[in-house]
Amino acid sequence: MSHIPIVDFSLSLEENPSRSKLEETGKLLYDAFSTAGFVYLKNASIKTKDVERLNHVTEEIFKASYEEKQKFAWDHKHNFGYVALNRESVDPNKPTDYKEAFNVGAEALDGDQTFCWPHHLSDDFHIVMRNFAQACKEVAHQVLKVLAIGMEIEDEEFFIKHHHLMHTAKNYTTLRSLYYPPVPDSLPSNQLRLGEHSDYGSITLLFQDNIGGLQVENMNKEFVDAVPIEGTILVNIGDALQFWTLGKLKSTKHRVLIPNDPVARKKIRRSLAYFVHPDHEVIVNKPPVYKNNACETDKPKKLITAFQHAASKLDATYHY
C-alpha cells in the first residue's frame, strides 16, 4: 500500500441507488479494506460544517479546568464521559497517550437522560453529539450494506442484521470527541499523541482536522501519512471485522505522532471518531456464508461474542 484509496460514496445521497452503483462501490470498498484497511469516502452525506459544529460545541469542555472536567469523568461501565490527559495507553510499549477525549457511549446516544452531561459548559453538546451520531449511524449502515454486496455475502443484510442495536445498551458503538493539546518540550522523546494500535470494533468513521499527524501502517510494515482530505470521511476496519471475516478484511495499525516542528507542536489537533461495534451477543468467530460457497469453517470450538471481544480490549487499554 503506497496510499489510502479514495472512493466516491455519493450513493449515500441517493434514495434508491442503482444496483450497478452498489456493486461497483462495494467492490471498491472491498478492495480497499482487504489491502489498505482504510479508505477515504468522498461525497458522503456528512458535511464539513457538521464536523466543525461538533468541534465547536466541545471546545469549552476541553478548555475548562481539570477539576471541572473531572466532574464528568469517564464511566467505564457505560463508556461515557471525560477521559483525562495520559489516562489511556493503547500501546503498552509507549508512554500514555498525550490526548484528551469525551466519550458518548451507546446508552447515552439512545437518549438516556440519567447521564451527567456537561450542560453548563456547553449548552448544545448533548443534542449536537446525538444528532451527529445518528448521521454517522446511517453512513455506517450504508457502508456495511455496500461492503456485504462487494464481498458477495449470501445474505446482503448480514452485517446490518448484526449491527441493528447500535445506540442501545446492547451494543458498544461510541462517538468520541478527541482533543490533542499543545505539546510541552518536557515530554519523553518516545511519547505519542496516540500510540500504535488497531481499532476494536467493526469499522471506524474518522473526521480529521487539517493539522495532520495520523499515520497508517502499509503492507511493507511502514507507517505512511494519512493526509487530511477536506470533505472526506476516513473509514477503517477494526479487529472484530477482521476476525469475523477470517482475515478477508484488514484491521490496520495506526498512530498519531507528535510533530517535530516547534510551531506545529504548539497547535491544537482535533478529530472525531465514531466506533462501530457489532451487537453484544453476535458471535464474531463464526464467519458469514458467501455466494456459491459454503461457510468456510466448521462451528468454532469456543464461541466469542462481540461483547467479550470489545471488553477484553478496553480492559487492556485503561488498566482499571
- Strand partners of residue 273: 176, 206
pLDDT at res. 186: 85
pLDDT at res. 150: 97
- Strand partners of residue 160: none
CATH for 6-318?
Answer: 2.60.120.330
Cell numbers standing for residue 78: 457505560
pLDDT at res. 2: 46
Using alpha carbons, select from 137, 140, 117 the residue that is nearest to residue 127. 117
**What is the C-alpha to C-alpha distance for residues 250 and 267, in angstroms, rounded to an integer?**
32
How far does Cα 28 stand from its chain's mean position? 20
pLDDT tens per residue across all 320 residues of the chain: 448 999 999 998 888 999 999 999 999 999 999 999 999 999 999 999 999 999 999 999 999 999 999 999 998 888 899 999 988 878 888 888 899 999 999 889 887 667 889 999 999 999 999 999 999 999 999 999 999 999 999 999 999 999 999 999 999 999 999 999 999 988 888 888 998 999 999 999 999 999 989 999 998 899 999 999 999 999 999 999 999 999 999 999 999 998 888 898 999 999 999 999 999 999 988 889 999 775 565 566 688 899 998 887 777 665 54
SS (H, E, C) the chain: CCCCCEEECHHHHCCCCCHHHHHHHHHHHHHHHCCCCEEEEECCCCCHHHHHHHHHHHHHHHHCCHHHHHHHECECCCCEEEECCCCCCCCCCCCCCCCEEEEECHHHHCCCCCCCCCCCCCCCHHHHHHHHHHHHHHHHHHHHHHHHHHCCECCCCHHHHCCCCCCCCCECCEEEEEEECCCCCCCCCCCCCEEEECCCCCEEEEEECCCCCEEEECCCCCEEECCCCCCEEEEEECHHHHHHCCCCCCCCCEEECCCCCHHHHCCCEEEEEEEECCECCCECCCCCCECCCCCCCCCCCCCCEHHHHHHHHHHHHHCC
